[in-house]
Structure 1
């Protein structure tokens, strides 16, 4: 009996590997829990609020260090002064105080958190009603070839 010759590494590489079809997963999103949507959107909107607040604080610091607010106050004061008296009863300098700017930013951010959370929760309820009528969103995932 003849002994078979061993297959070397080069001979193994010459043979093409059998091709496998990519795997596919077919999913249907039929329901979104409103409570989960509310919690998730609340956390995301809080993160956006923090980012907004920090961005405004940094921007205010940079503009204040560059003297932009002082220039605006001086320009408005020069335009409204007649005979040594200001014609407007408005204290323009108080408009650019950090407490006022950051306070309005906090107020706007809080309103955004409430609105984004409420609208996302309402959106999930509307999606659930529409999904009951049309069957949901169908998604197919497949591996890259």
Structure 2
């Protein structure tokens, strides 16, 4: 099967077709012959195509960008989850019950006030700090892993992947 692009003819496997010679078939003024008949290929009987590829290199810059964006998304989820968890626990009255238990065990005149330690702004601030540390660590670790993969793939050849056309 031949394809033409920009005045150049190619076969199915990508090899260029030589131009017709003067006086030969297909040339201007030459004899014309009908194209040889090709057998009809039934569609769908060949099965899916399989391509075997090798991942031999991963760009560390693109890994860093992607890891940073995913880490930011996880950080936002962490802060929101901490806030929702605090509202649920506070709504159930858990902090009050724990404070009552502390007062019973230690005594009424205790200087320990649980609500000072688990106030909403403190919990959200701690979750934000943990999220920022996670952003830095996840981005750095993913980038270092991409560099280590490139070094290892240079030694052993990379990961072989087979893709199918289902």
Query: TM-score, normalising length from structure 2?
Result: 0.70
1:18: Cα distance to partner? Answer: 6.4
In the TM superposition, structure 1's runs of 4+ consecutive aligned residues that sit over 4 Å from their partners are none
In structure 2, what is the equivalent of residue 94 of structure 1?
116
1:133 to 149, 155, 164: 155
* 3-state SS of 1:141 partner: strand
In structure 2, what is the equivalent of residue 122 of structure 1?
144
Look at both structures and tell me which one has the larger radius of gyration over its CA atoms: 2
1:57: Cα distance to partner? Answer: 0.9
1:108 equivalent to 2:134? Answer no
1:26 to 52, 75, 88: 52
Mapped to 2, the partners of 1:133 and 1:17 lie a distance apart of 42
Using CA pairs under 8 Å that are at least 6 residues apart, name the structure with larger relative contact order, 1 or 2: 1
1:44: Cα distance to partner? Answer: 0.4
Gaps of 5+ in 2: 1-41
1:77 to 86, 91, 103: 103
Query: TM-score, normalising length from structure 1?
Result: 0.79
Aligned CA-pair RMSD: 1.7
Structure 1, 24-33 or 120-129: larger mean CA deviation: 24-33
The number of aligned residues is 125
Mapped to 2, the partners of 1:65 and 1:45 lie a distance apart of 30
Mapped to 2, the partners of 1:107 and 1:67 lie a distance apart of 26
